[in-house]
Amino acid sequence: MTQAYYSAVLNHPLDDVWSLIRDFNNYPAYIDGVSESLIEDDKRGDEVGAIRRFCYLGNWIRQRLVDHSDRQHILTYAGLEPLPYPQADGSPGESQAPAPTRYQGTMHLRPITEGDRTLIEWFVDLETEPADADRWRALFDSWIPDWADSLARTLDRTR
């Protein structure tokens, strides 16, 4: 098990950030590259157990919402299928790639009272083969800041 972690300060009030991300199905609204998202079985986007199926850079991914707290401003999701390591062109596969990984991600928001801003902590726990842990962590260490930057750009457009 290894973990990728990223934190950033968003120049927006916590309530604004939380209102955007709290709906598990709202991924296309704030993550560049997500073209579509659907919640299966008529569940709500804030209902623990809801499964979202979304298209990210042409790849369909399914995740389950495993924790959601409006009070603590936390959202945790888990991949339902092992995630294949992307090829250099972004497609799954690659002959020398690490074995697929299972993962669980958490987005946690905390208020920063000075300036009415928000601290976002985003981490992903990765269940990998020991020999693959560094490569998977490095990949997520590069992705998570991009996702947080996408969220910040979306929030900036809503001002």
Per-residue pLDDT at 75 exceeds 60: yes
Task: Find the mean pLDDT for residues 22-39.
Answer: 95
Percent of the chain with pLDDT over 70: 94
Q: pTM of this prediction?
A: 0.90
In the prediction, which pLDDT does 7 show?
A: 98
Task: Find the mean pLDDT for residues 69-88.
Answer: 91
Q: Check: CB of residue 70 under 8 Å from CB of residue 16.
A: no
Contacts of residue 36, Cβ cutoff 8 Å, sequence gap at least 6: 28, 54, 55
In the prediction, which pLDDT does 47 show?
A: 95
Q: Residues 10, 60, 38, 71: what is their CA dihedral angle, to the nearest 10 degrees? A: -40
Q: How confident is the model at residue 89 (pLDDT cuts 50, 70, 90)?
A: low
Q: How confident is the model at residue 94 (pLDDT cuts 50, 70, 90)?
A: very low
Residue with tokens 């928000």: 118
DSSP secondary structure string for all residues of 88-143: TTS-B--TTPPPPBEEEEEEEEEEETTTTEEEEEEEEEEE--GGGHHHHHHHHHHH
Count how many residues are written for the chain.
159
In the prediction, which pLDDT does 91 show?
A: 53
